[in-house]
Amino acid sequence: MRKRRPEAILDVYNLVLGAALFVSPWLFAFSQGAASIDARLGGAAIVTASIAALLVFAEWEEWIELLAGLWMVASPFVLGFQHTTAMHVSIAIGLVVAYIAALDLWLIHYGPKPVEG
């Protein structure tokens, strides 16, 4: 039986954040336009990468989550929905997702190595 990675909980956190981002257009009443589409697509990408990382871990999934989080931070300025609730939600969730993905990548490369025995 395969052992779980201790960092897998970080993927669960990103899964929850991605799901929150996906439903945020309905929760915060911005269900029209670019902000809504961006939140749904970004949330779906984060959820998909998180599920993939939980099922069969590969480092590229963490990079996808990091890039998706950074995109969520930049997208209000690129797509033009500044000064809205959607901007605040996108930036807040994007920063947390990017931080968690970066932390996971750091732990993969520099964290404590498992003791085999």
Helix count (H) and strand count (E) of the chain? 4, 0
The answer for residues whose C-beta is within 8 angstroms of residue 17's C-beta and 6 or more apart is 46, 93, 96, 97, 100
Give the number of other CB atoms < 10 A from CB of residue 16: 13
Q: How far apart are CA 67 and CA 48, in angstroms?
A: 13
Q: Kindly report the pTM of this predicted structure.
A: 0.89
Nearest in space to 93 (alpha carbons), one of 76, 79, 105: 76
- The domain limits of the chain are 8-110
The answer for residues whose C-beta is within 8 angstroms of residue 1's C-beta and 6 or more apart is none
Query: Residue 3's pLDDT band (boundaries 50, 70, 90)?
Result: low
The tokens for 27 are 């929760």
- What is the pLDDT at residue 1? 40
pLDDT tens digit sequence for 73-115: 999 999 999 888 999 999 999 999 999 999 999 988 887 776 6
Q: How far apart are CA 102 and CA 111, in angstroms?
A: 12
* 91 SS3 class: helix
- What is the pLDDT at residue 6? 72
pLDDT tens digit sequence for 10-43: 999 999 999 999 999 999 988 788 999 999 999 9
Nearest in space to 74 (alpha carbons), one of 95, 59, 45: 95
